[in-house]
Amino acid sequence: MYKFMLPCLPVDLFSCSKPRSMLSLSKMAVDMFVKVKSRIDSRHQVALVALQNTAEWVCDFTSDPFRICDTLSSLQSQPTADEFDLSELLRVINDHVILPEVPDITLPPPYTVRVILIYGRSSCVPSIQSTECREAFSRLTQSPYFFLDVLYIHEISSDSNNCENILDALYHLDLRLANYCLEASQHTVKIFNLMGSLLAHPLQRPFQDERKPWRVC
């Protein structure tokens, strides 16, 4: 059983005081993730979606981690929009992803599909504005073989941004409590550690609140 993964990387990660550094950090984290995942099992396949004002499928599913990393390195930052509609992302996913149908749920599926949304805006609350896309999202999340993990990288929460509301909106995307929703405030080590947690296979990993890396003395 192998897995299709879909890191969704917002390329406008720079409404903070250090433009480009956090985008580079996110790219490095995804680069590490893709290469390690391929090293664990070369059958895993990854596709890449860039989130700007719309969602763009920039690299199709491939088991070649270097192809993903090359595409990743070519992404450039864009100006931040005031709002972000997740409908575009869901539309793109619906167009490119076919979920497995397994007649007997006790049998392992041939593959699972996991979307890893890396969201980097501190002022823009994401939402699903299209009714049609909300229904499509509901159908996707009803499948036991579809997962939506979120890594939220944000500025330090303050009155001048909307981090808490954004985190709340991202938490509420998890309708089955089977997904991971992780957040970090631009802390390099923490971001990489969280990406490490996201390496876990969604059908085998513990629930988010039960997960902890075992401390070796």
Partner 1 sequence: HVLFDSQHPKFPPDIVLDASDSSFCPVLTDISSLTEWDPSDENSLRLVVYELLELFRKHQLHVAEQIDHIKFNTEFLLESDHYCRFDVHVKRREGSEDNVRVKLYIQLPVAFSSLPAYLTSDSLGDDQAILAVTFYSSDAAHVTPKLKFSPSLERALGSITNIRIPRWGDEFGSCLMDYVPEVCKRIEDKFEEISAAYGKRKELVSVFLSHFGSSLIEYDAERFSRMTFLLSYQGFQCLVHSMSK
Please tell me whether residue 2 adopts helix, strand or coil conformation. Answer: strand
Rounded Cα gap, residues 174 and 147, in angstroms: 9
Residue 56: both structure tokens together: 């763009």
CB of residue 107 to partner 1, shortest distance in Å: 11
CA 78 to chain centroid: 19
* Contact status: 212 vs partner 1 (CB under 8 A): yes
Shortest distance in whole angstroms from residue 191 CB to partner 1: 12
* Size of the residue set binding partner 1 (CB under 8 A): 23
Q: Alpha helix locations (H) across 43-122?
A: 65-73, 87-96
Q: Does 210 bind partner 1 (CB under 8 A)?
A: yes
Phi-psi region of 177 (alpha: psi -120 to 50; beta: other; left: phi over 0): left
Under DSSP, the state recorded for 216 is P
Binding mask 89-118 for partner 1 (x = CB under 8 A): -------------------x----------
**Mask for 185-204, x = binds partner 1 (CB under 8 A):** -------xx--xx-xxx--x
Residue 79 in contact with partner 1, rule: CB under 8 A: no
d(CA 180, CA 29): 17
Question: Which residue's CB is nearer to partner 1, number 2 or number 57?
Answer: 2
Residues that bind partner 1 (CB under 8 A): 1, 36, 39-41, 108, 192-193, 196-197, 199-201, 204-206, 210-216
